[in-house]
Homo-oligomer: A and B are copies of this chain.
């Protein structure tokens, strides 16, 4: 009694000429299938999550530290969200949080030595996982995928300006 997954049901219900909708479905399925593996792997191996990895990455690439607002802006999430993730990372000793001397509203967040060690392991592992999951395509095919995605994203960003009102 293994049910059809929702994607396949939707695909069957869609008219043949719903090109855009079908392409989006393909995008969701491809993204989700990769994300699922990454999520499970990181949870099992590092007892960690992608949001934590993302914050560590931002801080690893900005060793002078970032403010809460800068983190929120870079990760495109709310500041309230960052408050929670950074608090938990700080509890685990992976980041350090200090009030700025020049402006007491501002928090400066830096990755700790322990954080760097963890991040380097996760980062290498992440690369390996992606390389393994995507392997089997030629260099040209990978490039074609990348260019189609880039072209699409740029159009989406252009087309979505209408919605940002």
Contact = CB atoms under 8 A, between A and B. Distances in A.
Interface string A50-74: 0000100110011000100010011
Interface residues of A, number: 69
A143 interface: yes
Main secondary structure of the interface of A (DSSP, over half): helix
A6 B54 contact: yes
Given A10-B57, A145-B149, A146-B26, A3 B73 contact: yes
Given A20-B135, A26-B146, A33-B153, 5 more contacts: A6-B76, A33-B156, A133-B159, A137-B155, A141-B148
The 4 A-B residue pairs with the shortest CB-CB distance in the complex, in nearest-first order: A26-B149, A145-B148, A30-B153, A20-B134
18 contacts: A3-B73, A3-B74, A6-B54, A6-B76, A20-B131, A23-B142, A26-B149, A27-B27, A32-B76, A33-B160, A37-B163, A41-B163, A134-B155, A134-B159, A136-B158, A137-B152, A144-B144, A144-B148
